[in-house]
Amino acid sequence: ADDKGIKWGKAPCRYCGVGCCVLVGVKDGKIVATKGDPAGPVNKGLNCIKGYFLSKALYGKDRLTHPLIRKGNKMVKASWDEALNLIASKYKEAIAKTGPDSVAIYGSGQWTVFEGYTASKLFKGGIGTNNIEPNARLCMASAVAGFMSTFNSDEPMGCYDDLDLGDTYILWGANMAEAHPVLFSRLIDNKLKNKKVKIIDIATRKTRTTQMADEYIPMYPQGDLAAVNAIIHVILRDKLYDEAFVKQHVNFKRGTENQPYGLKDKENAKEEPKPLTFDEYKTLMKPMTPEWAEKLSGIPAKKIEQLAHIYGDKSRKVNSLWTMGVNQHVRGTWVNNLIYNIHLLTGKICKPGENPLSLTGQPSACGTAREVGTFSHRLPADMVVMNEAHRKKTAEIWGIDPKKISPKPGLHTVEMFRAIDRGELKCIWIQCTNPFQSMPNLSRYRKAAQARKAFIVVSDIYPTKSTEVADVILPSASWVEKEGVFGNTERRTQQWFKMVEPPGEAKEDTWQLIEFAKRIGHGGLFPYSQKNFYKEMWEEYRKFTVGTGKDLAPYETYFKVRGLRWPVKSNGQETRWRYTEVDDRYVKKGEGVKFYKGVGGKANVWFRPYEPPAESPDKEYPFWYCTGRLLEHWHTATMTGRVPELRRAMPGATLEIHPEDAARLGIKNRDKVKVSSRRGSLVLTAEINGRGKPEKGNVFTTFFDETKLINDLCIDAFDPISKEPDFKKCAVKIEKA
């Protein structure tokens, strides 16, 4: 303890995918302070405003402290036994009557590795259904599909060091200053030290990121799909590519175009790749000229030419950065592929200071949702349920019959909630997330839940829009009220210990799941001892990773360090850059770069054409509607909303409108405006010339405010490959309320 009697422990921040290292101060059994960890390599002692107020996020007056069970319209206090027995009986009844695929669990990129692993093992290896999804389907699924289709291995080759070492940063629809603030400060630090550093912000809206950028390039929604293709066209036309790199490291492929966008229930699509030669690829790319892209993206042809020449400039270390602007897109996978294409063609990849970097949103979207494999088609360490050898390996480690794991992918998120509406899904358990505020086309799913079409269990720390529709509410332990591991954007695995007791009868989600497992006959899946529970579970999970290029270290290794980036080498050293002899032990000296997970040690350059959005503005609904985040609140604000300072700083959602659009409609700043789409409408306060400034014809709002269910308006069309819905664009009209 320090001289004030405060004991400090290390942990990753509870909120975003940056994964800042924090120090947590505990006194008298309570968190009294947090601070940026000066020993933390991610953030070098800094936090953003959310991080600085972390200590208050767990102490809202309305913490859930005991289980609640629905009796008619009331939620009444129950014991853990009553609640868990009820859940077990409902799940058993549904499984007996309609089979294991009539039940599900919906988790989170905020699940710790232990929580995600327990849920996955129970549902996939015990109950025998792949109906398990993380909310990461709503944010990172297109990034996963992009990595897997291009490199046959998930997660980036680069890391945060690239923010310090590069000199050119091209941001594709990413407001880093608000969504990844500490990383943005690292970028600005580089800019202050190095005059050559250039930041180019390509977006549909001016933001705080724009204020610090060297250049802002406005773009139409879906314009990235055309613009990136045209950049590639110029790179090919002007021979800006690295011929030797391409020859050695790249396969060319085309996919199946014209797949549906998932607008109807149960629409699905298969990716059937066809090989191409480099010449065939060049021919396919010929029509995608800058002039063609100008019409579709709004980016002047000349600017596209300039961007191509920046990417192709051998004297520049060019990095691309993106997040939800690219991923939450009916062609999110394609845009991920296309950005990789640029870097693969120019050879600006797997080099210190020169990489594409897909930024994540949640603290363990990588560590849990992706690495543990809590998606409905995935198993740990990039394996999938459709592959017999992968099921066999998983069953061996789990000590079960391989036949127990179904080869059929489960319902992905949108289909999971549609299945509730269709009456096909009888039971769903939601942990650590708030889908009845965050789903697109929200009112369809809220109505289905309110009609009690499924038995709904919600584990959380506070009442939310999801607990409102639950049949059972379970109080959860949060963050440092339990031991855990998170994995961040740059493959960094961070461990922390329990530091304080959860309030009342609140319990960890892992405990909840295992107690439930015991009641439905699957308790044997979790044979870990009380004393070494986490270590034993970790060592079992780690077996999936060793020797695969995703190697995790023994559990104790993480106790003292501020995380390690995998693959961790046998000497305990982390890997900063993958696929390169510079740092990756899977690449031999003399091999240079090797995409060792890909066919023939190569990565794929995909032909990905342009397609129009699922819905575009028209006479009736003439505006684009875009949704996103802001600095003060995180996701649906279930935690940040309880921090008085953050609440005061940003009390509610507004609708950002371009001044000329507002003037034309007679709307003044702070006027109430009604915004409507084909799916719903709501009233918001107009914000003109505020923090964010959308381009003409666009409006923007944020999804944190539970009094304004802005996702009612969003379309639930999804990327046919990644199944990620498009939160970034649909058509709306606005009128003075």
Residue type for position 232: I
- Establish whether 499 is an annotated binding residue: no
140 is catalytic: yes
172 contacts 202 by C-beta, under 8 angstroms: yes
- Establish whether 313 is an annotated binding residue: no
Give percent helix, percent strand, percent coil of the chain, each to the nearest 5: 35, 20, 45
Q: CA 244, 250, 251: angle at the middle one, nearest 5?
A: 135
For ligand SF4, which is the closer residue by CB, 186 or 679? 186
Residue type for position 567: P
Partners of 320 in the beta sheet?
170, 356
Of these residues, 10, 50, 198, 351, which one is catalytic? Answer: 50
223 is catalytic: no
Of these residues, 222, 259, 306, 362, which one is catalytic? Answer: 362
**CB burial of residue 302 (10 Å; 0-12, 13-18, 19+):** exposed
Retrieve residue 293's tokens.
């892209």
For ligand SF4, which is the closer residue by CB, 13 or 425? 13
Q: What are phi and psi of 275, to 5 degrees?
A: -70, 150
- Establish whether 681 is an annotated binding residue: no
Of these residues, 25, 255, 262, 361, which one is catalytic? Answer: 361
For ligand SF4, which is the closer residue by CB, 43 or 512? 43
- Establish whether 110 is an annotated binding residue: yes
Least Å from the CB of residue 53 to ligand SF4: 10
For ligand SF4, which is the closer residue by CB, 180 or 198? 180
- Establish whether 350 is an annotated binding residue: no
For ligand SF4, which is the closer residue by CB, 48 or 87? 48
735 contacts 689 by C-beta, under 8 angstroms: no
CB crowding 664-682: b at 16 or more within 10 Å, else e: ebebeeebebebbbebbbb
- Establish whether 101 is an annotated binding residue: no
Report the interhelical angle of 509-519 vs 80-98 (nearest 10°): 60
For ligand SF4, which is the closer residue by CB, 473 or 630? 630
Distance CA 694, CA 616 (A): 16
Q: Which residues bind ligand SF4 (CB under 6 A)?
A: 13, 15-16, 18-20, 43, 47-48, 50-51, 181-182
Q: CA 441, 384, 272: angle at the middle one, nearest 5?
A: 75
Q: By beta-carbon distance, which residue lies closest to ligand SF4? A: 51
For ligand SF4, which is the closer residue by CB, 51 or 312? 51
Least Å from the CB of residue 286 to ligand SF4: 43
Distance CA 17, CA 660 (A): 36
- Establish whether 512 is an annotated binding residue: no
DSSP single-letter state for residue 545: T
- Measured in whole angstroms, how far is the alpha carbon of residue 212 from the centre of its chain? 25
148 is catalytic: no
Going from the C-alpha of 197 to that of each of 192, 236, 305, 346, the distances in angstroms are 8, 26, 20, 19
50 is catalytic: yes
Going from the C-alpha of 186 to that of each of 45, 141, 163, 189, the distances in angstroms are 12, 26, 7, 5
Of the candidates 688, 692, 694, the one whose C-alpha atom is nearest the C-alpha of residue 666 is 688
Least Å from the CB of residue 187 to ligand SF4: 13
Of these residues, 159, 324, 366, 714, which one is catalytic? Answer: 324
**Would you call 698 helix, strand, or coil by DSSP?**
strand
Least Å from the CB of residue 457 to ligand SF4: 28
- Establish whether 714 is an annotated binding residue: no
- Establish whether 432 is an annotated binding residue: no
- Establish whether 434 is an annotated binding residue: yes
Least Å from the CB of residue 66 to ligand SF4: 30
DSSP single-letter state for residue 526: -
Those residues whose C-beta lies under 8 Å from the C-beta of residue 386, and which sit 6 or more positions away, are 377, 407, 408, 409
For ligand SF4, which is the closer residue by CB, 370 or 393? 370
For ligand SF4, which is the closer residue by CB, 185 or 341? 185
- Establish whether 730 is an annotated binding residue: no
Q: Tokens 């503005």 belong to which residue? A: 617
Least Å from the CB of residue 564 to ligand SF4: 17
**Would you call 77 helix, strand, or coil by DSSP?**
strand
Least Å from the CB of residue 58 to ligand SF4: 14
Distance CA 469, CA 68 (A): 12
Distance CA 560, CA 563 (A): 8
Of the candidates 420, 549, 413, 466, the one whose C-alpha atom is nearest the C-alpha of residue 140 is 413
Partners of 274 in the beta sheet?
254
Partners of 457 in the beta sheet?
429, 472
**Would you call 275 helix, strand, or coil by DSSP?**
strand
139 is catalytic: yes
Residue type for position 96: A
361 is catalytic: yes
Of these residues, 21, 75, 139, 288, which one is catalytic? Answer: 139
Retrieve residue 222's tokens.
């879906």
- Establish whether 13 is an annotated binding residue: yes
Least Å from the CB of residue 179 to ligand SF4: 9
Distance CA 121, CA 517 (A): 10
Binding residues for [4Fe-4S] cluster: 13, 16, 20, 48
- Detail the residues annotated as belonging to a binding site for substrate: 703
Q: What positions carry a catalytic annotation?
A: 50, 139-140, 324, 361-362
Residue list, annotated binding site: 13, 16, 20, 48, 50, 110, 135, 139, 324, 328, 434, 459-460, 482, 509, 703, 711, 728
